Chains A and B, each alone.
Chain A
Amino acid sequence: MSTTTSVEQATRYEAVIGLEVHVELATRTKMFCGCAIGFGGEPNSRTCPVCLGMPGSLPVVNGAAVESAIRLGLALGCEIAPTSQFHRKNYFYPDMPKDYQISQYDVPICLRGELRITVDGRERTIGITRVHMEEDTGKSLHVGGSGRIAGSDHSLVDYNRAGIPLLEVVSEPDLRSAEEARAYLAELRAVVLALGISDAKLEEGSMRCDANVSLRPVGHTVFGTRVEVKNMNSLRSLGRAIDHEIERQTRVLTAGDPVVQETRHWDEDAGVTSPLRSKESVDDYRYFPDPDLLPVEPDADWIDRLRAELPELPAVTRARLAGLGLPAPQVAVLVDTGLVRVLDAALAAGAAPALAANLLTNDLVGWAAANGTDPADAPLTGAALAELVGLVADGTLSTKLARQVLEAVLGGEPGGPRAIAEARGLVQISDTAELEAVVARVVAADPAAAQRVRDGNAKAIGALVGAVMRETRGRANPRLVNELLERHLHP
């Protein structure tokens, strides 16, 4: 067997990846002022002298945003800094009206945590460097050209988003593949959803991810030159962008060229990255402590209270749901969509786990996909789900009818599952006398099929069951129909 080929002699590279994830907090107000956070509405309708950077205005820290930061830090096993402060990151760009963004620099609120991920059945621990608080920027509309910055004539800025609290979560460069990066982002998102601190929608930008990617020869410990890749707005897009960047850097290095340190923009449609701008050195932002904002020094009592109030984290949730007998892929959907909250509320109200979980992961998720909405936003309470599951458990509804009722609930029909089932006449017929009459009619109408069953062709009963279901518009209890047909044909 030949063991040496030219391919094996070429340098093989290993990817080194770190992620910077921004999480937009679901507080009621902005980070440093009382402007409400919301969607839509007129441009600049949620602005005030503070978030417009008017001279003489004074920012004050949103306590709820600090609590969100500490909670995420605790969930990631970080140390909570005994003192942390805000800095001004100075730059000239009209997405911030102040010409600086308030962020945290050398003393962030959370340090040194970790997140466990599982890829291909192998568990890895990814280090978290830090979690810090900052404020979001405004939204720019570029006029002229093709609507991108390059070639535009001028820009129009809306500061409704400026000042919304963000947490930036920086990972150690511990990730080694696109799959690991995806798993990390998915797990971080699941933690954020469990904490309820953000709606964490990648597609809508309430969770954003930049990737630092570099290559080094396998076995080396020194890092290669890193490239920052931006503009990935889904897990899939993150994976594609990283794979593309690894390929591109491999080609550059294999050709004997150096990788240029730069920021590159991921183009989802073209499937390529392209240079955005040469990276400013860190000193150019001229960070300095914001004299308007006093240090944040959470004491032990405050931290202990927040620690005690932490919800169940995704790893524990998965183990608990598996313990209820739910299959792993279904558990993953429940955790990743945040539907586990609805399930838990239904379980607390006495619902059977398997059916409740099926209605959520098959029917509700399907409905949400068909309607283009986020499953977590679907109008179904745990109590309503429990009521629906109860109707199946006591034989009032078949699983099929339960799906129709669920669809009606999701479509906004009022009254709850029982009332909807009754109003639509969907209640399953479990009345033996009523069904016997139908069975007799069906058997009389199709003597050939009936004869085949009598002759021992068990499959032939399907046609008769189908006929009964048609006659009853799907409302017959299938188990009872089978029983009655058997009794009728094999007296």
Chain B
Amino acid sequence: MSLTTDDVRHVARLARLALTDGEVEELRGELSAILAHVEQVREVATPDVPPTSHPYPLVNVLRADEPRPSLPPDEAVSTAPEAEDGRFRVPRMSHSEG
């Protein structure tokens, strides 16, 4: 499968990456190669091969509803690039990007 430059720009926008035209072209080739590889895997993955999103034979790994200590608030924001009044300070949110 071969991607178009528009496909690459769309994915880049979703990932909030600013790409130059050269990078778009470079990634178009690389991403297309990855997709071709996935196509190959898909041919082998017949219906009797279960999906392996969870390769462990484990289900229902559940936690008891018992509170555990949280981080001290100042520690919670200590690694934030910016904090204000105990809150994470983030740049202006633009709704069109929601």
Chains A and B come from one and the same complex: yes
B interface size (C-beta, 8 A): 39
A156 engages B70 (CB within 8 Å): no
For residue B91, CB closer than 8 A to chain A, the reply is: yes
Distance A63 CA – B61 CA, assembled complex (angstroms)? 8
Which of A33, A34, A276 has the largest count of B CB atoms less than 10 A from its CB? Answer: A34
Say which residue of B64, B76, B96 sits within 8 Å of A277 (CB atoms): B96
A284 engages B73 (CB within 8 Å): no
Nearest chain-B residue to A160 (Cβ)? Answer: B70
Say which residue of A97, A153, A286 sits within 8 Å of B14 (CB atoms): A286
Mark interface residues in B25-39 (1 if CB within 8 Å of A CB, else 0): 000000000000000
Mark interface residues in A33-60 (1 if CB within 8 Å of B CB, else 0): 1111000001111111100100000001
| A-B contact sample (5 more), CB < 8 A, given A156-B87, A159-B76 | A47-B76, A93-B93, A276-B95, A277-B95, A294-B58
B54 engages A291 (CB within 8 Å): yes
Say which residue of B58, B66, B85 sits within 8 Å of A43 (CB atoms): B85
Distance A157 CA – B83 CA, assembled complex (angstroms)? 9
Interchain pairs with CB closer than 8 A, number: 143
For residue A345, CB closer than 8 A to chain B, the reply is: no
Given the interface pairs A60-B63, A142-B93, the reply to whether A43 lies near B14 with Cβ below 8 Å is no
Contact residues in B for A152 (Cβ distance below 8 Å):
92-93
For residue B53, CB closer than 8 A to chain A, the reply is: yes
A20 CB to nearest B CB, Å: 17
Given the interface pairs A35-B70, A47-B76, A92-B16, the reply to whether A294 lies near B90 with Cβ below 8 Å is no
For residue A83, CB closer than 8 A to chain B, the reply is: yes
Contact residues in A for B53 (Cβ distance below 8 Å):
85, 288-289, 291
Contact residues in B for A62 (Cβ distance below 8 Å):
62-63, 65
Contact residues in B for A12 (Cβ distance below 8 Å):
none
B76 engages A29 (CB within 8 Å): no
Distance A140 CA – B91 CA, assembled complex (angstroms)? 12
What would 13 A/B residue contacts be, using CB atoms closer than 8 Å?
A: A29-B68, A34-B67, A34-B69, A35-B68, A42-B86, A43-B87, A60-B61, A90-B14, A153-B92, A154-B92, A159-B88, A291-B53, A294-B54
For residue A94, CB closer than 8 A to chain B, the reply is: yes
For residue B77, CB closer than 8 A to chain A, the reply is: yes
Distance A296 CA – B62 CA, assembled complex (angstroms)? 9
Q: Which residues of B contact A (CB under 8 A)?
A: 14, 16, 51, 53-54, 56, 58-73, 76-77, 84-98
Distance A156 CA – B91 CA, assembled complex (angstroms)? 9
For residue A177, CB closer than 8 A to chain B, the reply is: no
For residue A452, CB closer than 8 A to chain B, the reply is: no
Distance A62 CA – B60 CA, assembled complex (angstroms)? 10
Say which residue of B77, B85, B95 sits within 8 Å of A149 (CB atoms): B95
A29 engages B71 (CB within 8 Å): no
Distance A91 CA – B97 CA, assembled complex (angstroms)? 9
Given the interface pairs A157-B90, A294-B59, the reply to whether A27 lies near B98 with Cβ below 8 Å is no
For residue A297, CB closer than 8 A to chain B, the reply is: yes
For residue A295, CB closer than 8 A to chain B, the reply is: yes
Distance A90 CA – B89 CA, assembled complex (angstroms)? 21
Given the interface pairs A61-B63, A158-B87, the reply to whether A46 lies near B70 with Cβ below 8 Å is yes
Contact residues in A for B94 (Cβ distance below 8 Å):
149
B68 engages A94 (CB within 8 Å): no
Which of A85, A158, A298 has the largest count of B CB atoms less than 10 A from its CB? Answer: A158
Distance A65 CA – B62 CA, assembled complex (angstroms)? 10
Contact residues in A for B89 (Cβ distance below 8 Å):
154-157
Given the interface pairs A49-B71, A153-B92, A289-B54, the reply to whether A63 lies near B66 with Cβ below 8 Å is no
Distance A286 CA – B56 CA, assembled complex (angstroms)? 23
Distance A154 CA – B68 CA, assembled complex (angstroms)? 32
A70 CB to nearest B CB, Å: 12
B78 CB to nearest A CB, Å: 10
Distance A150 CA – B96 CA, assembled complex (angstroms)? 10
A97 CB to nearest B CB, Å: 8
For residue A28, CB closer than 8 A to chain B, the reply is: yes
Nearest chain-B residue to A296 (Cβ)? Answer: B60
Contact residues in B for A42 (Cβ distance below 8 Å):
73, 86
B97 engages A63 (CB within 8 Å): no
Distance A94 CA – B92 CA, assembled complex (angstroms)? 10
For residue A392, CB closer than 8 A to chain B, the reply is: no
A285 CB to nearest B CB, Å: 9
